[in-house]
Structure 1
């Protein structure tokens, strides 16, 4: 498995992954944010590839010199294998390269179940940006 930047040819497999992993409401919100982030800065959208298949993805954004993890998704057949952690670490490197002042985790109702994943990587409750706004509003 390796992590790399999103490429245009990844669009269909990524949307299929998101449809598989996310609830319908979460999918709609994520697709809006995904499209907007691609238009702003596609280098903050990463994919995890195993056996030539996209098995995970993460969307990040930078706003007001702060890096935000927005959404991470891993195919059910590949969960609990360290892919989510690899995606988070890779995006953290991108944030550090951009010299953001702080890294935050967008903690909306859809991310609540995986906040423990971020905690296992050393993030604390004060790193969670509790927002029920969409990324387009937060980063716009």
Structure 2
């Protein structure tokens, strides 16, 4: 069991995990499109957690030169509560630091207090912001 960079051979496991964990995701977050985009931009910030030769956790991060972002943190339900997301976050923070990142952000869906509490326990804090988006 360990965190490692995404490999193309992980695609099937990652797509299945995301389809399961993010079943209510909007259509613009189609897994194969997200993967293809990440592989073109900072692929070194795409992490998986592998257990018994199967991907059971993922994290995608990015750095825009000013701040880092963490998203697509997913852990298979059978592996939740065992520190998988913490190890993935630590790997992302390390990768972001290597790029010169000084601050990292993430977003939690409204109502997902379990995830918010987990991130708070890792040192993240609520910020007085309104998150906005726009489809292009």
TM over 0.5: yes
Alignment of 1:1-140 (within 5 A): 1-26=1-26, 28-29=28-29, 31=31, 32-109=33-110, 113-126=114-127, 131-133=131-133
C-alpha distance 19-9 of structure 1, shift in aligned 2 (>3 A): same
Distance 1:112 1:130 in 2: 17
Q: What is the DSSP-based 3-state SS (H/G/I as helix, E as strand, rest coil) of the residue aligned with 2:41?
A: helix
Shift of 1:37: 1.9
Instruction: Tell me the distance in 2 between the aligned counterparts of 1:53 and 1:87.
Output: 15
Give the alignment's TM-score, normalised by structure 1.
Answer: 0.82
Larger Rg: 2
CA distance in 1, matches of 2:5, 2:44: 6
Change (3 A) 1:51 1:84: same
Give the direction of change, closer, same or farther, for the CA distance of 1:95–1:15 in structure 2 (3 Å limit).
Answer: same
What value does the CA root-mean-square deviation take over the aligned residues? 2.6
- TM-superposition CA deviations, 1:61-109 (whole Å, max 9, x none): 1124211011200001111010011101110100111111311113445
Q: Which runs of 5+ in 1 are unaligned?
A: none
Alpha-carbon distance in 2 for matches of 1:41, 1:110: 30
The two structures have a TM-score, normalised by structure 2, of 0.84
Q: How many residues align?
A: 135
